[in-house]
Amino acid sequence: MQRLDGIGHVLSDLDLAGVRNQDDLTRMLLTLDTADKCIRVIRAEFRLETVSDRLARKAENLMVLIERARDELTGCRAAKS
């Protein structure tokens, strides 16, 4: 659970509105992709064990937030182009 909390903390510190150029966008998308991969690794570790509902919900909620952030970023990019 601590690893998911850490990922959540990193994601909450992201400033989507602060994306000003292609480098910022690339860095932000890389951060989101890395967080997504980390969550998938954590979930895979627990596939063989009984996963608490809380852990499963937290992982799923973080993945939803990542997808929303990615959609917002790519939507902003399309609007600025």
User: Would you place residue 81 in the very low, low, confident or very high pLDDT band (cuts 50, 70, 90)?
Assistant: very low
6 compared with 81, residue with greater pLDDT: 6
Which tops the pLDDT comparison, 53 or 3?
A: 3
pTM above 0.85, yes or no: no
Burial of residue 59 (CB within 10 Å: 0-12, 13-18, 19+) is buried
Instruction: Please state, in angstroms and rounded to a whole number, the distance separating the CA atoms of residues 51 and 46.
Output: 6
pLDDT tens, position by position, 16-68? 889 999 999 999 999 999 999 999 998 888 776 666 778 888 999 999 999 99
List all residues 6 or more positions away from 35 whose beta carbon is below 8 Å from its beta carbon.
7, 10, 11, 62, 66
| The pLDDT of residue 53 | 79
Q: Which of 70, 67, 80 is nearest to 22 (CA)?
A: 80
